[in-house]
Amino acid sequence: MDVDSRLNMTRLFVDCALMDHALIELNSGQSHYLSSVLRKKNGAELLLFNGRDGGFLGVIETTGKRSLLVRCKHKLLSQTRSSDLWLIFVPIKRTRMDFMVQKATELGVSKIWPIISKFGQVKQIREHKLRANMIEAAEQTERLDLPEIGKFTPLQIVLDNWPKDRVLVVCNETKSEAGNAHSMLHLNRKLTKKAAILIGPEGGFSALEREQLQVHPMCENISLGPRILRSDTAAIAALSIFQSNFGDWYKTPEFLNDEKQN
């Protein structure tokens, strides 16, 4: 199958094992979408993926009002993994958070982690909603995996258990105003292939939280420019800067090297 044919093929995430000749029964929502919205008929081809087994050519064998059966023919694409980049954020209002999660998935993060901050206004996270947004975004891109969802955890606990081999890039407008933040291209250390971007609450971090971030050995404060950005805008901007310079947008240079640092 040529690239153009694959790109034009409907992509569908299924939460089951994929293998040659497997017969898969889709859920009612997927069946309705394919048969009633897209008007797919018997014999229509799909690209199936589950985040583990790669991309498979699927063919609709049976259509019905409530369920639809798809036969796996053979593997088209080997499984790929997105770059090891996390997005950590204090949750915002639902519509904008849905948008942010979708775009973060499209931009290739490997983990989406909502955290609890003193000035955060959202007190509960519906993981199934986050996952639904991730699936929708992955289906619309060439992505074959889904981000991991981190447990809704207080910032202090996150910092206390932070891995020693992962840089935490903090988008901090207060440090920018004081002249103590750098652009992401001029960090104080060499980036490794493990990084995370932290987006704070709309009202900013509390004084205690700012102090904790300031003294943490793996934190780097960066600026996203002279304007105060809303959380969802800041997340998209920061992820785009990172992926274009250090991530998987281009093969070389993949990450910051010593020559660029100096």
pLDDT in single tens digits along all 262 residues of the chain: 554 555 578 999 999 999 999 999 998 889 988 988 988 889 999 999 999 999 999 999 986 667 899 999 999 999 988 889 999 999 988 899 999 999 999 999 999 999 999 988 888 899 999 999 999 999 998 899 999 999 999 999 999 999 999 999 998 776 555 566 678 887 766 666 789 999 998 888 999 999 999 999 999 888 888 888 899 999 999 999 999 888 888 754 333 444 343 3
**Domains of the chain with bracketed CATH:** 3-77 (2.40.240.20), 85-261 (3.40.1280.10)
Q: Return d(Cα 134, Cα 146) in angstroms, integer.
A: 7
Angle at 27 between CA 24 and CA 29, to 5 degrees: 140
The CA-based diameter of the chain, rounded to the nearest angstrom, is 64
Task: Show Cβ contacts of residue 121 under 8 Å, excluding neighbours closer than 6 positions.
Answer: 91, 92, 93, 201, 202
Phi, psi of 94 (to 5 degrees): -55, -50
Question: Rounded to the nearest 10 degrees, what angle do helices 94-106 and 231-245 cross at?
Answer: 10
Q: Return d(Cα 84, Cα 23) in angstroms, integer.
A: 33
Cα separation values, 11 from 34, 79, 140, Å? 11, 15, 7
The whole model's pTM is what? 0.84
* Residue 192: per-residue pLDDT: 63
* Residue 218: per-residue pLDDT: 92
* Residue 188: per-residue pLDDT: 61
State the CB neighbour count (10 A cutoff) for residue 156: 15
Q: Return d(Cα 143, Cα 140) in angstroms, integer.
A: 8
